[in-house]
A and B are shown apart, each in its own frame.
Chain A
Amino acid sequence: MRSILSIIKGPFMPSSLFAKRSAYRGTARTSLRARLHVLVLLLLTLPATASPLFGPIAEVLRHPRCMNCHTVTDFPRQGDERRRHAQLVMRGEDGHGAPTLPCAACHQDTNIDHAGVPGAPHWHLAPLSMGWEGLTDTQLCQTLIDRSRNGDRSIDSLLEHMRSDPLVLWGWNPGAGRTLPPLTHPQFMDALQAWRAAGAPC
């Protein structure tokens, strides 16, 4: 925050730099309006200064095993390269695919190993309100805890969901040939608990 404030308050550029580049000296003091402009740009482009406690959680949530069905599009994705799901599979009104080609046409309650088809109970896409694509850590965190978007879950019930939901757990049992999220599931739970203990900061 200090560096951001210094843009508004102080000399914009270190004077040592300008001492060597006299040609810029005349522009060393820029208008407040220009400084605000830069500030806005910086705020837009700077990495979100999210809670460090949420960072490891975000890394898990951003893994393709989670993200491929937490899309903001009207279709799911596939694979670590996150290509669009083949066969023109659609989100459908309820996240269970087009009624004429539902997720359940292929995806069972368990992985079908002989076919490489992943499966878990109630296999479906997360609602658009839980779409995570393109979010900063902070935004992801806020989306996660926003009860208007997370299925009206308290932090506690969110953790319970992460602990026990079979579709969440599938992420750590995705079948042969699929990569796993960066944390183990116990590590993920530990990270969530530490985050909750700190007041679930974003």
Chain B
Amino acid sequence: MAARDHWSRREFLRVSAMAGGGLLAACSFQQDSDPLAGGAGPEPEVPPPGPGDSWQANAFVRIAPDNRITILVGSAEIGQGTSTAVPMMLAEELDADWSLVGWEQSPTARDYANPKTFSQLTAGSATIVGLYRPQRRAGAAIRAMLVRAAAKRWGVSEDSLRTEASRVIDDAGGRSASYGELASEAAQQRAPTNPTLKNPADFRIIGQAKRRLDGADKAKGATVFGSDFHIPGMLTALIARPPAPIGRLGSGADTPERWNHEAALAVPGVEAVLAVDAGVVVVAQDFWAAKQGRDRLDVQWKRSSKPHIGSGEQRQRYTAKLDSPGLVLQRKGRGAQGLRGSGVISADYHFPYLAHAPMEPLNVVIDHAPGRCEIWTGTQWPDGDRGVAARVLGMQTSQVKFHTLPSGGSFGRRACSAHDFVDEAAQVAKVLQKPVKVLWTREDDIRGGYYRPSASCRLSAELDTQGLPASLSARLVTQSLVGNIGLDELATLGGAESNSAQGLTDLPYAIPNLLVDAHNSYDPVPVLWMRSVSAGFNVHARECFIDELAQAAGQDPLQYRRRLLQAQPRLLAVLDAAASAAGWGAPPAGHHQGIAVFSAYGSHIAQVVEASVDETSGLKLHRVVSAVDCGTAINPDLLIAQIESAVVFSLSSAMFGEITLEDGVPQQSNFQDYPMLRMYQTPRIDTVLVNSGGEPGGVGELGVPAVSAALANAIFAASGQRIRELPLRKHVRIE
């Protein structure tokens, strides 16, 4: 354990004094996971930076003379609370006075990469998992330097000093000094190579339900999101995109053939109408003029040769493919090839395309002139976006200054593997050469593609004499998230396909014979990961199917799962905790319960939904109980908020979410036909933490996949109806 806390060979911390006093620390830790780093050898102490070193650009902790500490966060704040939880981890080891800690979004630079994603990509529920140790190491190292500075100042041994609330305290000498006072001297100390990390039992900040550092500003409407960002002389652009979002930008998309240039230009405030690969762009003084101009464009589109698919036709194709073997992703025991005939229980589940629909539609502010470019946007992937912008503009990445702003939601949409929204904005800027904000309307967002893929999943099983599954086969038809971003060769590898098979290839249940195979369908619809990725459909199908097996075996769904999860103590613990908190088996009269489980990102969850269905198929949600074990919670209240969020997100998708295509064109456009749960439809949500200690797991996506299955299972309990396709509103009435 201690060894892991050493700075690795190419990991370093640079600390220096700030002009006017204070301390500024720069840290690089992304090489922790760099496969090329290799090699052991002694780890040299890193000397303080000399004049001219570029440490300032990468500073990630600032201690000001007035004792205020600012922690720069390299992960994106998309609502999940990184702007609070990441500083908490560093402040813990620093022994900072939390009331004086603030945060800032970091610049876009390698030093801020998350070792789990090898970049500044904020995704995969990896922020806490990836930064738990690096942030703590950095805090511990800076604390050690502050202690050294105080020891030197007072001529005492470091061991005789302790720290608390941003002060170094000399109990014997009856004196103390604030970090702010010591900062300049601390900056002259050598950074330790192996700072000692605290015993978790001594945590004073980690594990506390601290308020969000961004909460007050957000309640005041004072947070500057990308769509709020403004620079002098900035114009506003809207893009008329092809009605069918097929293929990647500029490659096989429908192309604009004719449009009413003059009508758009005639709108007061419209400055220019441009054609770029992304579509026809109306540039105006402000949004309203741009919108009026775009409404008058009347673009005639030339269809590409790519097929324009329909959802009904796709469903038929997927269903047919379920009958033929796919690429084997996992085989255990004797597989499950022989599953056919009587005694085999089988069910097909179908899932639609989903739109992320973050509350803040996409937007990019870009200021480009020859040899220079600066970009401001809410994104989960600033370094990736910057690379794409540089490519489009024919510039060096280093010439593009990229600022990440808080995102008004994202759920994966702003981690676009095609970086479409920044790509487009760069196309506009390249022609315009003026500062411009490219805005998306809600309709652009819902119709713009990059959907969570649609999928069909067939699950088949044979039960043993105990009623437990002896063999299970899972066959999946979907679009590969990797294959559809142009990495087709990767898509044929099991590793890439497994991106689509989350929840199937990591089955927690003890089933001796298992076969998971998949068909990658190359539909010309751009797809993208959405919160919980493929687990969103696979775990839904799996957990509904386990319920069907329990029913076939005549067993209680909770007890059935318990029998299959004996080798999964953490999952078993959350299952029992959820059942107990929900009063499993004894719901209020007329209410019915469903249960489901999910493990990923080092975390475990069990969820119980309590619902009722009336004689007119009217569905009402009453309560959702979740029990979570994520090891260690950095901020338990924000963890609970994430689960609450995931519950509403998942139930919204399960009940309402569906993008249908006709002739390639999405049929939904705004919240009236892509609805989500509202206040009055939201059930009581209770979340129980049963953390087992140890390394923290991820929680941002954890609460999504199981709860929708628990709902479908509750509907079965209430009505006897097995609904095997989403959204549920096709089968139950929801007002």
Binding site for B on A (CB under 8 A): 83-84, 86-88, 114
Interface pick from B73-81, B672-680, B692-700, B705-713: B672-680
Beta-carbon contacts of B286-316 to A below 8 Å, as 1s and 0s?
0000010001000000000000000000000
- Chain B interface size range: under 10
Q: Determine the distance from Cα of A88 to Cα of B675 in the docked complex, in whole angstroms.
A: 13
How far in angstroms is the closest Cβ of chain B from A74? 13
Beta-carbon contacts of B670-689 to A below 8 Å, as 1s and 0s?
00100100111000000000
Chain A residues near B675 (CB-CB < 8 A): 86
Q: Which of A83, A87, A114 contacts B678 (CB 8 A)?
A: A87
Q: Is the CB of A86 within 8 A of B672?
A: yes
Whether a CB of chain A sits under 8 angstroms from the CB of B53 is: no
What are 11 A-B interface contacts by the 8 Å CB criterion? A83-B735, A84-B735, A86-B672, A86-B675, A86-B678, A87-B678, A88-B678, A88-B679, A88-B680, A114-B291, A114-B295
Q: Other than A88-B679, A88-B680, give 9 A-B pairs with Cβ distance below 8 A.
A: A83-B735, A84-B735, A86-B672, A86-B675, A86-B678, A87-B678, A88-B678, A114-B291, A114-B295
Chain A residues near B735 (CB-CB < 8 A): 83-84
Chain A residues near B295 (CB-CB < 8 A): 114
Q: Determine the distance from Cα of A157 to Cα of B680 in the docked complex, in whole angstroms.
A: 41
Chain B residues near A86 (CB-CB < 8 A): 672, 675, 678
Q: Determine the distance from Cα of A114 to Cα of B296 in the docked complex, in whole angstroms.
A: 12
Q: Determine the distance from Cα of A32 to Cα of B721 in the docked complex, in whole angstroms.
A: 48
Chain B residues near A88 (CB-CB < 8 A): 678-680
Name the CB-closest residue of A to B735.
A84
Q: Determine the distance from Cα of A84 to Cα of B678 in the docked complex, in whole angstroms.
A: 14
How far in angstroms is the closest Cβ of chain B from A79? 9
Q: Quick one: which of B291, B295, B672 has the most chain A CB within 10 A?
A: B672
Name the CB-closest residue of B to A88.
B680
How far in angstroms is the closest Cβ of chain A from B671? 9
Chain B residues near A87 (CB-CB < 8 A): 678
Name the CB-closest residue of A to B670.
A116
How far in angstroms is the closest Cβ of chain B from A111? 16
Q: In the A-B complex, list the 9 residue pairs whose CB atoms are closest, starting with the nearest.
A: A88-B680, A84-B735, A87-B678, A88-B678, A86-B672, A86-B675, A114-B291, A88-B679, A83-B735
Q: Determine the distance from Cα of A1 to Cα of B679 in the docked complex, in whole angstroms.
A: 54
Q: Determine the distance from Cα of A41 to Cα of B680 in the docked complex, in whole angstroms.
A: 41
Within 8 A of A (CB), among B644-702: 672, 675, 678-680
Q: Determine the distance from Cα of A86 to Cα of B672 in the docked complex, in whole angstroms.
A: 8
Q: Determine the distance from Cα of A86 to Cα of B681 in the docked complex, in whole angstroms.
A: 11
How far in angstroms is the closest Cβ of chain B from A116? 8
How far in angstroms is the closest Cβ of chain A from B231? 27
Chain A residues near B672 (CB-CB < 8 A): 86
Q: Determine the distance from Cα of A84 to Cα of B618 in the docked complex, in whole angstroms.
A: 13
Q: Determine the distance from Cα of A114 to Cα of B735 in the docked complex, in whole angstroms.
A: 26
Beta-carbon contacts of B605-616 to A below 8 Å, as 1s and 0s?
000000000000
How far in angstroms is the closest Cβ of chain B from A177? 11
Q: Quick one: which of B678, B680, B735 has the most chain A CB within 10 A?
A: B735
How far in angstroms is the closest Cβ of chain B from A98? 12
